[in-house]
Amino acid sequence: MHPMSNSSQPAAALMATPPVAAKRPHSFTHHGITVADDYAWLRDPGYPEVTDTAVLAHLAAENTWFEARMAAQQPMIDTLFTEMRGRIKEADRSVPQKDGDYLYWIEFEEGAEYKKWWRKPVAGGPDELILDEVALAEGHEYFRLGAISVSSDARLLAWAVDDNGSERFTVRFKVIATGEILPDEIPGTLSSLVWVAGDKGLVYSLANENWRTDNARLHWLGQPLAADVELYHEDDEGFRVGSSLSANEQWLIIATSDHETSEVRLVPTADPLATPILVKPRVEGVEYDVDERDGVLYIHANDTHENFRLATAPLATPGEWTTLIEGTDEFYLLGYDLFRDFYVIEGRVRGLDRIEVRYYDDPARIEPILFPEASYDAGLSDNPEWAPSALRLSYESMVSPATVYDYHVADRSLEPLKVQEIPSGYDASLYATERLEITARDGVVVPVSIVYRKDRAAGGPLHLYGYGAYGMAMTPSFSTSRLSLVDRGFAYAIAHIRGGDDLGRAWYKAGKRESRTNTFNDFVDVARGLVERGITTKGRISISGGSAGGELMGAVINSDPDLWGAVVAHVPFVDVLNTMLDDSLPLTPGEWPEWGNPIEDKAAFELIHSYSPYDQVSAQAYPPLMVTAGLNDPRVTYWEPAKWVAKLRELKTDSHELILKTNMGAGHGGKSGRFESLTEAAEEFAFILWQLGVAGQPLP
């Protein structure tokens, strides 16, 4: 269903001018510095409940203005939606994967927004429907399945559901064979679900009143919630707690961490009430994670090199670490997986994925898994068994659709099991992809992944995407939706800017805290470099980013507004200073290692204020801008984009489009169904095509 129903059109048609938010004088002072914030009233004082009539009326008016301005684009939205949906195989299923006595897979039925989870016995027998998301989502505007976990005896299923976008999940249980729903129910969770104690207990984490998981709790099946046991409580409000199983399923791993420090405890799954084993006490700036095999701990840690090493330690003396694989500048060790007879490490060399099989009894035996393309996104997929003969892998590139492989370890061969099917057709030979290097203003070379039609006109429009935060790399992956731009003559580029860990841990550090502005400068310099190379021209560049990438959008339109022809900012983190000053917000204390703590640190206050997009809006011409928000978003609260748009309306000197759409029944990720989310992508692309003057049918 498209968002602009007939019932909304009359109201939209009556709206001739954009809504103007009231200015209510407000200011605050820290470190002797006073900052005005005249739109602070858009934060409902009752949040997370939003009931303030003035706030709701303003958001509704913005939504009506969005509909009024986008109404003429509805034919293009419909065209794009049809194209995007036509590239999705509606009746689709994953490659079954063996786990114990069963093969498990998921299926989408024709026209279904959500999937169904299936299994069948390896030895033969009927298919069993273990969870039906379609039925669970019935009657809900929003639906998201969180964790799902089958008990070790394969008899019981636990799953968690969020039906409003708030990212607070309710856990339920069922007997798979009979479909019987058990009376146990755990509301308010935000975690994985880990079976322990012979499937008599389940370990989970509750989100506290500030949406922080500061605990690991044990629920005894069949017992009231009041009988649940807190296995661990984290006192540092900046840390989050998570639980998992060791690869051999003998240990419950309870980890607590913020963005740069971690600490791990081990508990036997057979005796979850046993005293936890602390692997090593936290040291600020040291991150580590742990697994176990035959009494030996394997530790992935950045204590001796920022790109991480792999160490071992005896279970009896878990803090005595001996290096197994040294950390190096060249190889960024992202992680590892233990199996009975071998282990696998994953990392990146010069920003490109690398997977290696290694052996416990022969450290010199290293078997890299090789792929045919020069730039790609590859990694281990779901490998639940302790002693597999083949490894399940995922692979894609900007021109190669997603492919599922089995890598047969004994003969080192790749077996393709499934290639993403595009029903409306896809000819990879029409497209080219490159990995470019563009020098930023401080001399640092920034990689750029780019895809385009080979028959694209030189200097045509270009879409540039970026994120650049939290050490999250933006991989050169495949996208069917993206083709709707590329097939209309766009080049599509991903800027691997500092702040992500695309080129290693140092790359991440060079875009955080006191180095934050490198992220924004890199993005601008990549755009200028693409213009200098003749790939596009100034003003013919559309850009997009979400969350911290939305902060990026806000920063670069403040600094270089004339570069961009269209800007889309999804749930943008643009009120950075106010949010980092508010330690009552769910995420703020845990975010200080990433952005700095402006409450205690004057230099951090001044730096954040100097780039915070909301605070730096000025009286200048801005490019056309489309902004999205989620009323129930706990990560970027709805008032950040609302305040930003209000201030832009007040100060900007141009007549370009500025539209804000707030999803009133969704959170950080927008709409939840697979086709509903396509509607939002179609709106975004229609806005871009409209503003850049690109219309019509795609290239043949």
CATH number for position 433: 3.40.50.1820
Question: Would you say residue 358 lies in a domain?
Answer: no
Give dist(CA 393, CA 477) in Å, integer: 14
> What pLDDT, on the 0 to 100 scale, is given for residue 3?
32
Question: What percentage of the chain reaches a pLDDT higher than 90?
Answer: 87
pTM of the model: 0.89
Q: What is the Cα–Cα distance from 478 to 378, expressed in whole angstroms?
A: 11
Name the pLDDT band for 664 (thresholds 50, 70, 90): confident
221 and 274 part of one domain: yes
Structural domain including 73 reads 6-85+426-692
| Mean local confidence (pLDDT), 668-694 | 84
Looking at the fold, whether 581 and 474 belong to one and the same domain comes out as: yes
Position 94 confidence tier, pLDDT thresholds 50, 70, 90: very high
What percentage of the chain reaches a pLDDT higher than 70?
Answer: 97
Residues 520 and 663 both lie in one domain = yes
In a domain, 386, yes or no: no
pLDDT grade for 426, boundaries at 50, 70 and 90: very high
Q: Tokens 């201030």 — which residue?
A: 647
Is residue 509 classed as helix, strand or coil in its secondary structure?
helix
Is residue 337 one of the residues assigned to a domain? no
Whether the predicted pLDDT of 304 surpasses 60: yes
Q: What is the pLDDT of residues 47-57, one digit of tens each?
A: 888 999 999 99
Assess contact for 143 and 632: CB atoms under 8 A: no
| Cis peptide preceding 476, ω within 30 of 0 | no
Q: Residues 106-152: pLDDT tens digits?
A: 999 998 989 999 999 999 999 999 999 999 999 998 899 999 999 99
Question: Quick one: 178 and 48 in the same domain?
Answer: no
Using alpha carbons, select from 387, 386, 557, 376 the residue that is nearest to residue 464.
Answer: 557
Query: Is residue 495, in this structure, part of any structural domain at all?
Result: yes
Instruction: Tell which of 101, 131, 161 closes a domain.
Output: 131
Residue 694 · residue 544 · CB < 8 Å: no
User: What does the pLDDT read at residue 559?
Assistant: 98
pLDDT at 8 (0 to 100): 38
What pLDDT is stored for residue 699 in this prediction? Answer: 78
Give the per-residue pLDDT at 366. Answer: 97
Domain co-membership, 114 together with 178: no
pLDDT at 6: 33
Q: Which residue, 329, 362, 387, sits at the end of a domain?
A: 329
Between 283-297, 405-419, 628-642, the lowest mean confidence (pLDDT) is in 628-642
What pLDDT does 7 receive? Answer: 34
Q: Is the pLDDT of residue 599 over 90?
A: yes
Spell out where 133-239 has E strands.
144-150, 156-162, 169-175, 181-189, 194-196, 201-204, 215-220, 229-233
Give the end of a domain, one of 267, 297, 329: 329
Q: How confident is the model at residue 695 (pLDDT cuts 50, 70, 90)?
A: confident
Residue 419 pLDDT > 60: yes
If asked whether residues 489 and 511 sit together in one domain, one would say yes
Is the pLDDT at 411 greater than 60, yes or no?
A: yes
| Each residue's pLDDT tens digit, 352-405 | 999 999 999 999 999 999 988 878 999 999 999 999 999 999 999 999 999 999
pLDDT at 473: 95
pLDDT at 5: 33
pLDDT at position 567 over 60 = yes
Q: Omega into 598 within 30° of 0, i.e. cis?
A: no
Residue whose entry in the numeric block shows the structure tokens 């069922």: 174
Average pLDDT, the chain: 94
Tally of domains within the chain: 3
What is the model's pLDDT at position 9?
A: 42
Residues 228-242: tens digit of each pLDDT: 999 999 999 889 999
Task: Report the 10 Å Cβ neighbour count for 174.
Answer: 17
122, 204: one domain: no
Residue from 530, 630, 524 nearest 567 by CA: 524
Same domain? For 316 and 437 the reply is no
Say whether both 103 and 61 belong to one domain. Answer: no
Residue 351 gets the label, from left (phi > 0), alpha (psi -120 to 50) or beta, of left
Residue 672: per-residue pLDDT: 55
Query: Does residue 696 carry a pLDDT above 90?
Result: no
Examine residue 405 and state whether it is found in any structural domain, yes or no.
Answer: no
Average pLDDT estimate for 494-500:
97
- pLDDT the model gives residue 666: 55
Residues 169 and 100 in one domain: no
Domain membership of residue 552 (yes or no) is yes
pLDDT band at 587 (very low <50, low <70, confident <90, very high): confident
What pLDDT is recorded for position 1? Answer: 29
Is the pLDDT at 12 greater than 70, yes or no?
A: no
Bigger pLDDT: 16 or 289?
Answer: 289
pLDDT band with cut points at 50, 70 and 90 for residue 636: confident
Within this chain, do residues 468 and 608 fall inside the same structural domain, yes or no? yes
In-domain check, residue 411:
no
- Would you name the residues annotated as active-site residues? 547, 633, 668
Q: Poorest-confidence range of 612-626, 631-645, 671-685?
A: 671-685
Query: What's the Rg (C-alpha) of the chain?
Result: 26
**Rounded Cα–Cα distance for residues 259 and 454 (Å):** 42
> Letter for the amino acid at 694?
V
pLDDT value at 72 more than 80: yes
Q: Are 169 and 50 in a shared domain? A: no
pLDDT at 227: 96
State which H helix or E strand residue 434 sits in: strand 431-439
Residue 24, in any domain of the structure:
yes
